[in-house]
Structure 1
Amino acid sequence: MQFKEILSNFTGFSCPIFGIQWTPVTADVTVARNLIRELEDKRVLYRPEEMEGHQYCVTSVERMRSLLTDAMQKTRPNTPLGKASARLRRASRHFCDIIGSPRFDELSHPIKKSVLGRELVKLREVAGLAIAEISIAYGLDVEDELASIIPFKMQNHN
């Protein structure tokens, strides 16, 4: 999905710099582009939950946390990339706390499936918002599979 499509259909993004034009630093754009490319390969963010086992999900999200930490180390915390990465890393940590917990393994299969589904929805909501914010702030396209989790507004065709 192209950056302009994301910008025109995204809901809930506001610029904290009240009308001032902001041009991202080249290094931040490169870090953001690399992060988006890596996240596009994280199936845990967009594949149906039935296709992913809980252990695969935990391993994938742990790797994602590492990518986010690396991106955060290369940018300032008050940038759009820094803020979005921090929020997504917190959500990833929460996911791993729940699904990677020994208590999760003690649950019956139907309950595990329900909890995994619920936690994937929560993670994907945060990830979709973070990806949209990064895409808009740095003018980056996002592959359609990953873009499927971005919270787009509905068009009213009256």
Structure 2
Amino acid sequence: MKIPWHKWQRIANRITGFNVPWFGVTWNPPPLERTAAERAITYLESKGLFYAAFRWENPNECYADASEIRDELTRQMLELAKDSHVYRQLDAMRDACRMFRNLLREGNLEKIGYYQELDDKQRADFLLALGALRYGCGQQIMTLAVEYGVDVADHLKASLPSTEEESE
């Protein structure tokens, strides 16, 4: 079986030492996917953007939070193989944050400081964008939690999209 060059390169990048006379190699193993999923979920549990009441959310703070979340997810993705499942889930959440920010910019909402300053159309646009962000990221969080057996804090779990089985 021939191993593709990019996989050899990934292994070579993790080698941190080489011992001789008899032989030896030291290296940093890739992070386990469960650990990566757990780290991502733990980080997201601290972000009110995913669970705070809609009326408490302010567009400019949400805009900044989505940027901060994207940056952190990118940092975590750098430690993972691009073909890993966790990488793809984090990438989907990062895309949801990007789309949320784009929607706020399109509606000129990113600089509005308080929810109460929004007119009816702006409020509807903001709530739709925030709902889409929460739904999109919530699906990825649920997938990571189920597939890797990661517990999700109750305050975040309560805001995740429900499955069809739960709603029946």
Kindly indicate whether the alpha-carbon contact (under 8 Å) linking 1:58 and 1:99 is maintained by their aligned counterparts in 2.
yes
1:39-91, Cα deviation, whole Å (9 max, x unpaired): 00111111121101001111111111011111211112222211111111111
Distance 1:111 1:155 in 2: 33
The answer to which structure, 1 or 2, has the higher relative contact order (CA under 8 A, 6+ apart) is 1
Trace 1:1-158 onto structure 2 (pairs within 5 A).
27-101=32-106, 103-104=108-109, 109-148=119-158, 149-155=160-166
- How big is the alpha-carbon RMSD for the aligned residues of Structure 1 and Structure 2? 2.4
In 2 relative to 1, CA 156–138 (structure 1 residues): closer, same or farther, beyond 3 Å? Answer: closer
Q: Which amino acid aligns with 2:155?
A: E
Kindly indicate whether the alpha-carbon contact (under 8 Å) linking 1:80 and 1:133 is maintained by their aligned counterparts in 2.
no
Kindly indicate whether the alpha-carbon contact (under 8 Å) linking 2:31 and 2:79 is maintained by their aligned counterparts in 1.
no
- Mind listing any 5+ residue stretches in structure 1 that lack a counterpart? 1-24
Query: Which is richer in strand?
Result: 2
Offset of residue 156 of structure 1:
7.9
Higher Cα radius of gyration: 2
Count matched residues: 133
- Mind listing any 5+ residue stretches in structure 2 that lack a counterpart? 1-29
Give the TM-score normalised by structure 1.
0.74
Q: Which amino acid aligns with 1:91?
A: A
Kindly indicate whether the alpha-carbon contact (under 8 Å) linking 1:32 and 1:71 is maintained by their aligned counterparts in 2.
no
- Secondary structure in 2 aligned to 1:103? coil
Give the TM-score normalised by structure 2.
0.70
Q: Equivalent pairs: percent with the same residue?
A: 21
Q: Which moved more, 1:32-41 or 1:95-104?
A: 95-104
In 2 relative to 1, CA 43–78 (structure 1 residues): closer, same or farther, beyond 3 Å? Answer: same
Distance 2:167 2:39 in 1: 35
Offset of residue 101 of structure 1:
4.7
